[in-house]
Structure 1
Amino acid sequence: MASGRPDAAAREAERNLELRKRLREVEAAILGRTPESSPEPSLERVRRIMELLGDPQRSFPVIHLTGTNGKTTTTRTIERIVRETGLSTGRFTSPHLHNVRERIALNGRSIDPERFIATYDDVLPYVELIDNEAREAGEPTTTYFEILVVMAYAAFADAPVDVAIVEVGLGGEWDATNVADGQVAVVTPVSLDHTRLLGSTVEEITLEKRGIIKPGSITVVGEQEPAVDELIAERVAEVGGAAKRETIDFEVLERDQAVGGQQLTVQGLAATYPELYVPLFGEHQAHNVATAVAAAEAFLGGGEQPLDIDLLRAALADLDSPGRLEIVRRSPTVLVDGAHNAAGIRALRNAMSDSFNFARLVGVLAIFADKDADDMLSTLEPVLDHVVITRNSSHRSMQPAALGAIAVEIFGEERVDIVPNLPDAIDRAAELSDEGGVAGGVLATGSIQTAADVRALLGVTDS
């Protein structure tokens, strides 16, 4: 008698094929909308869709994060701490490195393809209803980022989750995520970035970002410029909330280098937490962790109850932050970092000096055309022995010849190679780093896309 197993295997293979096909269709449909680099400054579309869905974002508490740098790492850290306590979590971050499903995570794992497709199918009729109304009125339709926010909130409600930790996409006041009201608002360091959309000064940018601070919330504020601090305090007072500020209410007390990361002592809102091993590099990451600890305290006990030290240590030891000063290969050591603005590049430069000791460090640099490449390259010059100028896979990437000309002005012609093809650029950088012997290293940076492309080329696609 013939076994039924081959038929079962064939049916499973056919099902998987159909699933992958449908997933590609859904991803293409989402990607075909207005891109997140061109957002529409309005919450009206998302609010209307959420109302039609029954306001799923109201069915769970939210920890909401904004800032310029450190948002994603801080979001992931808060989520990991809260999850360690036994709560079920939703996490929303952006941008993604390799797969759009990374942005929506349930209990620390990217939403699976079946749930992603089902969520899209569930929300699409409501999205199309609002889009049709918008077209009739001659107004913009739902964007790429907006539909992902709608899907995230719907998936979190359906799971259901005990808490959602949500990173804004851009700004705060009119960011699509702001249809939810955060019980805890977190503001990581604010600096200049996306000035075309958010404003040309840190004050203008802060006015936009502080819009996530809602009545009665606790606001956890990372270390800021005085003008930023003042504007955040003004908003907190307006809405009748409470602010907890780094260096005043919480801080990093001690920081020591450790194998594969660093060891910290953090003064939180409710207790001091010693001997915290964190597998992340750089002083900026220590501050991100301290901010995350304070945010977790604010959510779990109003900032008045200490976290269990063993649970906290376990959570932090399990941390990762893909694409953020991440080692993706050894021999030679290749690091990737998504720094893409002046403040991020400064933090990267300081971390390289602080946490690594390469005899020779070669940079692989691909930067978006709308960024201040001159400032970014000048900042990195002291820590790079040589640079290989290239481009990443985004259409926004600066042409290598133009970026190379800037690099030659800063580094000198003898320290610059221009290799337009990224795989060849990585190979060339590895060759150049070998001139330093076993202590040579390669640093690929300039944008999140650059970090993602190098990760993929080296076979690292988990995130």
Structure 2
Amino acid sequence: MSDHESPDPEKSGYIGPLDDTDPDEFVAAGDAVYTALLSRLGEAAPQPRLSATRRVVELLGDPQRAYPVIHITGTNGKTSTSRITESILRAYGLRTGLFTSPHLERLNERIVIDGEPISNEALAANWADIEPFLQIVDGELETAGEPRITFFEALSVLAFASFADAPVDVAVIEVGMGGEWDSTNVADGQVAVITPISLDHTSRLGNTVEEIARTKSGIIKPVSHVVSALQPEGALSELQRAAELTESTLAVQGEQFRLTSSAVGVGGQVVSIKGLAGTYSDLFLPLYGAHQAQNAAVAVAAVESFLGGGTHELASDVVNEGFATVTSPGRLQLVGIEPTVLVDAAHNPGGAEVLAVAITEYFTFDKVVAVLGVLADKDVEGIVRALEPVVTEFVVTDAPSDRAVDADSLAAIVVGIVGRDRVTVEPEFERAMEVARDSADEAERGAVLVTGSITLVGEAITLAAAEKWKP
């Protein structure tokens, strides 16, 4: 997936207990943290600055320096690469922290400690620890005529403090947007990982892959290890330049390491990878899509770089365990059967393209009904054109965000690309899902695919669980 979608706070994420019988007495306290974050400038408007976050962590005693960091940026594949990297490290017996964005159902998903979302109790306790310092810096910023600490700046500080409190042996930190001025960049990553770069968030990051790569290369710190996925030539040149300036080592997919094979398997795929220091053969990866196999190769190189500077082979049985236990919610995730319901958080053309390829390679559907909702700052035409070859019909709906393209306007764009006979408009999401599932049920091997918006995917996961579409 791309730099996080920055969903509307008021409608992005589930607040409250996961179900009516949730016994967690700290649910309300966890909800209060999210409510407090929502009072701040939202993720749709990140501030291009590091000084504010740096000031808060300095007051806190620099919790981000309490553990080593693997820092991950890119346009697509950041979250999955982060999750695979963390899973391998945890299989090695390390206590891990994982910070990703956005969440699909609940804020706790973004701060993961040793493989589990942070508890509501710990979330609330760590928030209580940092909030006075946020307020101090808020006052300083307001005096200087600058915006207060933002949602994502505060959340980054909360993650760093939570990992120090846990404590963790290593933190895998996913960039929110860009890199150079992203609030996570107050941490100094021993390993910087760059997943595939393409055009996204052009109004903030630049109109060319070179400009975007320049911003993302800002996470590369002096004398660090840099691991890069396959990149467009212009982007790679910027990464090479940044590595030279910082006297860092650069390992590039296809040169220093590579995916050597992948084959479709039941529930995922079997992959073989030539890493920086070792070869890892016939590993089961319970994720669909060739792009996930590529992400896995990058993750292996990242862990090799972290544990042995890229010179020591990893234990194959540990890598196998790390792969076997990895999950990537919202990425070609099965949430329903009879009919099959898949969700995928693709919300830019690059993500939609790899999704379309994966649908073709890993499934044998004779009908695919896409439930589509997209936010207004996204390339709607690019997304639809990428999906059109594999989608039989589109059910267009409103994504749960005030920034969503309304269903009628979105439908007009889709109709212009695929034709009127392949498009149905159902603004109300639950009704859209009902129509799509009924249509898919008409085919022998029909499926519903929910995509186009992370907020929509989160809504689908919640609905599927509530209605028990999958045993």
What TM-score, normalized to structure 1?
0.95
Q: Match for residue 449 of structure 2?
A: 443
Q: Match for residue 437 of structure 2?
A: 430
Provide Cα deviations, 1:182-235, integer angstroms capped at 9, x if missing partner.
Answer: 000000000011111111111111111000000010000000001111110000
Q: Match for residue 120 of structure 1?
A: 127
**Equivalent residue letter for 1:445:** T
Q: Match for residue 425 of structure 2?
A: 418
Paired with 1:24 and 1:270, the residues of 2 have a C-alpha distance of: 45
Is the CA contact (8 Å cut-off) linking 2:68 and 2:171 kept in structure 1?
yes
Q: Match for residue 10 of structure 2?
A: none
Shift of 1:460: 7.2
Paired with 2:24 and 2:77, the residues of 1 have a C-alpha distance of: 38
Q: Match for residue 162 of structure 1?
A: 169
Q: Match for residue 191 of structure 2?
A: 184
- 2:58 equivalent among 38, 51, 54: 51
Q: Match for residue 279 of structure 1?
A: 286
Is the CA contact (8 Å cut-off) linking 2:29 and 2:120 kept in structure 1?
no
Distance 1:460 1:350, change over 3 A: farther
Q: State whether structure 2 residue 286 is matched by structure 1 residue 262.
A: no
Shift of 1:314: 1.1
Q: Match for residue 369 of structure 1?
A: 376
Provide Cα deviations, 1:398-428, integer angstroms capped at 9, x if missing partner.
Answer: 1000011111111111111101111111111
Q: Match for residue 221 of structure 1?
A: 228
Q: State whether structure 2 residue 459 is matched by structure 1 residue 453.
A: yes
Paired with 1:259 and 1:18, the residues of 2 have a C-alpha distance of: 39
**Equivalent residue letter for 2:176:** G
Shift of 1:432: 1.2
Q: State whether structure 2 residue 304 is matched by structure 1 residue 304.
A: no
**Structure 1 segment 239-250 matched on structure 2, within 5 A:** 239-250=246-257
Q: Match for residue 63 of structure 1?
A: 70
Paired with 1:447 and 1:267, the residues of 2 have a C-alpha distance of: 34
Shift of 1:237: 0.2
Paired with 2:350 and 2:263, the residues of 1 have a C-alpha distance of: 23
Shift of 1:393: 1.2
Paired with 1:295 and 1:372, the residues of 2 have a C-alpha distance of: 31
Paired with 1:450 and 1:70, the residues of 2 have a C-alpha distance of: 19
Paired with 1:34 and 1:401, the residues of 2 have a C-alpha distance of: 29
- 1:329 equivalent among 308, 314, 336: 336
The structure with the greater share of residues assigned to helix is: 1
Shift of 1:344: 0.6
Aligned residues: 447
Is the CA contact (8 Å cut-off) linking 1:328 and 1:460 kept in structure 2?
no
Paired with 1:330 and 1:17, the residues of 2 have a C-alpha distance of: 30
Q: State whether structure 2 residue 385 is matched by structure 1 residue 378.
A: yes
Provide Cα deviations, 1:311-354, integer angstroms capped at 9, x if missing partner.
Answer: 11111011110000111111110100000111111111111111
Is the CA contact (8 Å cut-off) linking 1:79 and 1:89 kept in structure 2?
yes
Paired with 1:447 and 1:424, the residues of 2 have a C-alpha distance of: 17
**Equivalent residue letter for 1:54:** G
Unaligned runs of 5+ in 1: 1-15
- 1:408 equivalent among 397, 412, 415: 415
**Equivalent residue letter for 2:411:** G
Is the CA contact (8 Å cut-off) linking 2:276 and 2:301 kept in structure 1?
yes
**Equivalent residue letter for 1:84:** A
**Equivalent residue letter for 1:131:** D
Shift of 1:18: 6.6
- 2:216 equivalent among 189, 206, 209: 209
Q: Match for residue 87 of structure 1?
A: 94
Shift of 1:157: 1.0
Is the CA contact (8 Å cut-off) linking 1:66 and 1:186 kept in structure 2?
yes
Paired with 1:398 and 1:98, the residues of 2 have a C-alpha distance of: 21
Is the CA contact (8 Å cut-off) linking 1:70 and 1:288 kept in structure 2?
yes
Task: Point out 4+ residue stretches in structure 1 off by more than 6 angstroms.
Answer: none
Shift of 1:79: 0.4
Paired with 1:20 and 1:386, the residues of 2 have a C-alpha distance of: 40
**Structure 1 segment 137-176 matched on structure 2, within 5 A:** 137-176=144-183
Is the CA contact (8 Å cut-off) linking 2:338 and 2:441 kept in structure 1?
no
**Equivalent residue letter for 1:455:** I
Q: Could you say what secondary structure the match of 1:270 adopts?
A: coil
Alignment RMSD = 1.5
Paired with 1:104 and 1:379, the residues of 2 have a C-alpha distance of: 32
Provide Cα deviations, 1:95-148, integer angstroms capped at 9, x if missing partner.
Answer: 111111111111011110111001000011111001011111211110000111
Is the CA contact (8 Å cut-off) linking 1:251 and 1:267 kept in structure 2?
yes
Paired with 1:84 and 1:296, the residues of 2 have a C-alpha distance of: 11
Q: Could you say what secondary structure the match of 1:383 adopts?
A: coil
Distance 1:434 1:20, change over 3 A: closer
Is the CA contact (8 Å cut-off) linking 2:371 and 2:397 kept in structure 1?
yes
Q: State whether structure 2 residue 200 is matched by structure 1 residue 197.
A: no
**Equivalent residue letter for 1:458:** A
Paired with 1:113 and 1:18, the residues of 2 have a C-alpha distance of: 9
Q: Could you say what secondary structure the match of 1:90 adopts?
A: strand
Unaligned runs of 5+ in 2: 1-22
Shift of 1:24: 2.4
Aligned-pair identity (%): 46
Paired with 1:101 and 1:17, the residues of 2 have a C-alpha distance of: 13
Is the CA contact (8 Å cut-off) linking 1:131 and 1:142 kept in structure 2?
yes
Q: State whether structure 2 residue 297 is matched by structure 1 residue 290.
A: yes
Shift of 1:90: 0.7
- 1:36 equivalent among 43, 48, 53: 43
Paired with 1:173 and 1:304, the residues of 2 have a C-alpha distance of: 28
Q: Could you say what secondary structure the match of 1:401 adopts?
A: helix
Distance 1:424 1:50, change over 3 A: same
Paired with 1:34 and 1:386, the residues of 2 have a C-alpha distance of: 38
**Equivalent residue letter for 1:331:** E
Q: Match for residue 364 of structure 2?
A: 357
Q: Could you say what secondary structure the match of 2:389 adopts?
A: helix
User: Relative contact order (alpha carbons < 8 A, sep ≥ 6): 1 or 2 greater?
Assistant: 2
Is the CA contact (8 Å cut-off) linking 1:62 and 1:183 kept in structure 2?
yes
